[in-house]
A and B are shown apart, each in its own frame.
Chain A
Amino acid sequence: MTEIFIPAVTHVSTMTNIRRQRILPVPGTVLVRVNEKVQAADIVAETEIEPKHYYLDIARALGLSLREAARSIIPQKGDRVDAGDIIAGPVGLTRRTVRAPAEGHIVDIRQGRVLLEARGELYQLRAGFPGVIVASDGTQAVTVEATGALLQGVWGSGKQDYGVMRVIGDSPAARLQTDQLDANLRGAVLVAGICDHSAPLHQATELSVRGVILGGMSAELIPVARRLPYPILLIEGFGERPLNSMAFSLLVNNVGREVAVDAGTAWPQPGHRPEAIIPLPANRQVSLPEEVVALKVGRRVRILKPPYLGEVGVVKEMLKAAASYPNGVRARSAAIEIEGVGTTTIPLANLEILQ
């Protein structure tokens, strides 16, 4: 058994195989077949969530004993009923009845009571990016696969969309500002370094943008971001966090292409990360990105804490002894070479692999 260190992995890949499972929160209907091609906006599965129930007390409503009430119930468990259909009765001189308060299904009958499940809210699952359906369980989950560029982020505002990518500014730290947003950007996915005001985000709404990809954003804007009609994807984090050099390069090299922005859903799956996918044809066989990668010499890493926060470097040496830091903290560390900085020592806990 050798000692290894497995940090988090963030994918910043110019060409890879991307496979994503889309899962309904509860079983429903899968609308696509395996090997079927799908577009980003295609609905691949749907279900009803949080249906409303009516618990009808037949015995009390009709003034019957439990046994009499049971005999007066007309539909069987599983039957579909329309609003106004008679559920129980008629009984007595006045021919009393209990009618269905809504359209739905009878899901339970017990002790003189009927449980009617009305229709719930329709929940639809979209493919999210253009690809091919490679797996389906027929009721709840489908897997979409494509080739292309993949850029994983750290936070998403909770929506998904798809559009042509445009870069704002000319540097990884360029701010998203209102005077840069004009009609030419209508319906686009915008890329910028930093956003620290709500005004450009609101102006982007006016332009019906399909999404915004940022390096960093002020955390104070989170409530605003969650209310916007388009997704916001953060690649680095909160505050003054310019895009890292690898991410910026990937985005700039794909300007004008369509990008799918997945900033999360209301029903997140474990391990699901917000991300941007740029579908590209592969002219060679590409494999799925590795999800579990050991830290070792030569790995490309991103630094997650000051003083080199956000810098990308390469592991030069895994240090055997714990290193000391200016504030007195001691931690297991690695020597990292950062372009333009040189080699510096960083705690292993403050590194993540970029690949």
Chain B
Amino acid sequence: MPWPKNTKYLGKSTPRTDGPTKVSGRAKFTADVALPGMLYGAIVRSSWPAARIRSVNLAPVIAAPGIRAAIPAQEGTFEVRYYGAEIAAIAGISRQAVLDALPLVAIDAEPRPFVVSETDATRGESPKVFADRPNLGEGKARNTGEVEAAFAASAAVVEGTYHTQVEIHHPLEPHGHVVAWDEDELTAWSSTQGVFACRTAFAQALGLPQNKVRVVCDHMGGGFGAKFNPGAEGILCARLAQAAGAPVKLMLTRFEQALAVGNRPSSHQKIKLGATADGKLTAFQMEAFGTAGFGAGESTGGGSGRASFPAPYIYTVPATRVRQGTVAINAGQACAMRAPGHPVASFGMEAILDDLAVKLNADPLDLRLKNDPSEIRRREYELGAEKFGWRQKYRKPGSAPGALKIGIGCAGAAWMSGGKGTQAELQVNADGTVEVRVGTQDLGTGSRSVIQIVAAEMLGLAPEKIAVRVGDTRFPPSGSSGGSQTTASVSPAIYDACEKALAELARLSEVPDPKTDWLTACKKLSAPLQVRGQWREGLSAGGACGVQFAEVEVDTETGFVKVKKILVVQDCGAVVNRLTCESQINGGVIMGLGYALYEERVMDRATGVVLNPNFETYKLPGAADIPEIEIMLLDMPERGVIGVGEPCTIPTASAIANAVANAIGVRVDSLPITPDRVLAALGKVPATQRGASAVREFEPVFRHVAALPATAGAKEELPT
């Protein structure tokens, strides 16, 4: 890899370039855009979990004071399949005018039977989410080797059932757009992870040529996978603006965020794992299912429309039999959420691996070192174990004395990352300052700073001399910011642009090495010098790994779990900006903490509504919950630039869950690990419906999934 050695900025820590504008409150997000004559937009949503909408009468709304446009979500008769589905949209001169008008919409609806429980939905008599197909969709199946023979020959076999919850992204900035029409040209300020993807979608939905559509996203308040395309809300906003003849701002409320704009699918995993007496894995069998909302089996933006996930995750097992199904229910559709499928896969696999360690009376770390095919991860385990004091701290499960029990656990991750295709424009001004323009996005990930640091290093300039502009389809194209691909896609393009800029500057200025004589060379420019860079091979790669260690304290009287420490050993190839990279890792760990202990979308079986569509009852980690997080960030410039945003959130919940099992000597098999589940596992309270006592409910579904033919689904490719 041609990245320079002995770098000045690359791999070091530099404060992010948009820090000052954000701390001052000057940074404008989509939610902050204000245009003259702008109207306030809102969506009318279904209060039925399933219904046929026969007609939507908007006449009383249009007549209401201050209302400038009202449109149905669809023409004619249509079906809604979840509580919160879009029915109509309204725009008015103020929030108050719109709020007063919303109840005036007259909806002629025929409620339908509905189902919101994954297990209920698989029963023969269950209401069907779609009339023409079963709720339990065609699944994924994979066989390798002969599992029956392999289990029979195994010295140790463990079985377990593990459950993960539906998780909601909840970025702090809601989904939303401001759309303005200028005759037949459309400009959208969108809170998005993909300005170009949004442009394509707006153009298609509204029948516009792409060269008449511009999408802008200067700052955006978080996406985590939910903001890859405009969504129903974006298109409705554009149609409202068109109907009203005025710009419309449509930002979703927190309530709507919990219903309608995506989630991480749930999982129920029945796993059987076999090994030799000294812990080498021999056989792996899994039946699993989960729900991806009403759209089970459909592909969604960013992938992972289904509830399937890689198995046996990062471990190589010679004989496997995997069957996975996705169950449709009347709930909001899933979409990609930070490392789709991987935290789910990790939880089941790392849990049963630890359960196998218990059976073999082995140290769980040794089992991983023995079975993890990744040399990088094995090295990370060794490094981390020493820093963490694993060997000194490890105790047999449940053996800690007293009511407050300490336990430790670990888990590993793999993520494709990679990324390609970015183009960038670099402009050198006569005063020696530089501007870089890329149609990429900064979700808080620090992409702006990545661009600035690469340019600073390659041009030999202080970062402050380099202004970075992103988030506009008028800039050179880049892909959507997802899959942890932005850094690897963008950095080579900047490298390329800098190489070209130096060559061109040398030619124009006749200064042979502009890097060493920058100002002299620039002064010779009669016009700003603009060059175009593009992504090229040899500077970036895929294949991030990472391991995490967790130390927890479990109060066996209250069931409360306190995470005391998380140690992360993370690789991401060549580190670009260490400071922002570590912040991403902190963020991934804290999101994993929420997945482990607090977050869960709860549906009400009786009414089909989301019971916790707010932050009081859907609990995000807060200031009091944050453990000590220590990061060992491995800089491996020889591997090229690799993204880190997702690998760092994959193993956190698994490590915490394993630490809890180690502390109390018994497995809590469901996420989130709430106090009631801990106490139930300890036998101190009866097991709840959500937990292991629901075995009776799950068994028939596992049997059904097990019977899926070995045809559907492609093999998941994982990096080694």
Do these two chains interact? no
Residues of B within 8 A of A (CB): none
Residues of A within 8 A of B (CB): none
